[in-house]
Amino acid sequence: MTDQFLYILCGLSAGLLGGYLGLGGGIVMVPFLTIIAGLDIKLAVPVSVTAIVVNSFSASNEYLKKGMVNLELVIILSIFMVMGNITGSNLNRIVPANYTKLILTILLVYTAFSLLKGKQPKEQLPFKGNQGKYIMVSTVLAYLTGTLAGLVGIGGGVILVPLLYLVIGMPLTTSRGTSSFMIGFSSAAASAVYLLNGMIDYKIAAEVILGIIIGGKLGGYFGTTAKPIVVKILFFVIMLYLAYKMSYQPLLELL
């Protein structure tokens, strides 16, 4: 019963934060499952990816209702993210667990600082102009994001949100809504790879999904009304804390 409660709690927490920040929730869920619930990261990653599919579509519904999703960009970038997710999911079977944790730590730290410090320059073109200008580089980054997401069990929102906000110039709220919707499609591809390879623990996944459905709806609702500065500060604090917890043991073993 205690384990079941922890899995549901992990899903609920990841859903709330993921929906609020426009992430899939995996950047929170994988550390929670490994640190709080004590799962091996090789088991936590497939469970996380599977739950992310549910969370993304659950949270995205709130953003869609308020027109905070750029559907044109979702279609274009999702194709490349799906390709990347398939690549990363296959790499997960090869890359050692400690290296996976360290890669995830680097992503956490990078994202925390890039979004906190990032400001759109005054001379930046309106969003529509940047969308066409940066679409090629964005597709490459979307593929790389998908690869990393599939490898470490995250949705990819920790990279997607800064990408849409800082590179393309999309408003932060729309960036979160668009990111959340895209993650659902890309994570479904990664989940299929894990499913075909028999790497998903269905019992744990079901309990995590139960929590994430509730958390995702609440997080998505509150996320549509959140102030950008509050989102940035919360994002920064959570990312650095999780980076510390995730990297501590692997670094001790390597040093």
* Tens-digit pLDDT profile for residues 34-63: 888 888 888 988 998 888 888 777 777 778
Predicted local confidence at residue 83, as pLDDT: 92
Highest mean pLDDT among 87-91, 126-130, 224-228 belongs to 87-91
Predicted local confidence at residue 207, as pLDDT: 92
Dihedral sign of CA atoms 33, 48, 31, 11 in order: negative
> Which percentage of the chain shows pLDDT scores above 90?
6
* Tens-digit pLDDT profile for residues 186-212: 888 888 888 898 989 989 999 999 988
Predicted local confidence at residue 121, as pLDDT: 42
Residue appearing with tokens 């920064």: 236
CA dihedral 151, 153, 156, 157 (to 10 degrees): -160
Can you spell out the DSSP letters for 175-229?
Answer: HHHHHHHHHHHHHHHHHHHHHHTT---HHHHHHHHHHHHHHHHHHHHHHTT--HH
| Tokens read off for 118 | 């990032």
Decide if 166 contacts 172 (C-beta within 8 A). no
Helix 97-117 vs helix 228-254: crossing angle, to nearest 10? 150
pTM above 0.85, yes or no: no
Pick from 154, 155, 149, 209: nearest CA to 180: 155
Which residues 6+ apart lie within 8 Å of 216 measured at CB?
15, 16, 18, 19, 25, 54, 55, 56, 58, 59
Least confident segment among 67-81, 82-96, 114-128, 145-159: 114-128
pLDDT (mean) for 2-21: 82
Highest mean pLDDT among 38-42, 108-112, 116-120 belongs to 38-42
Predicted local confidence at residue 63, as pLDDT: 80
pLDDT (mean) for 177-188: 84
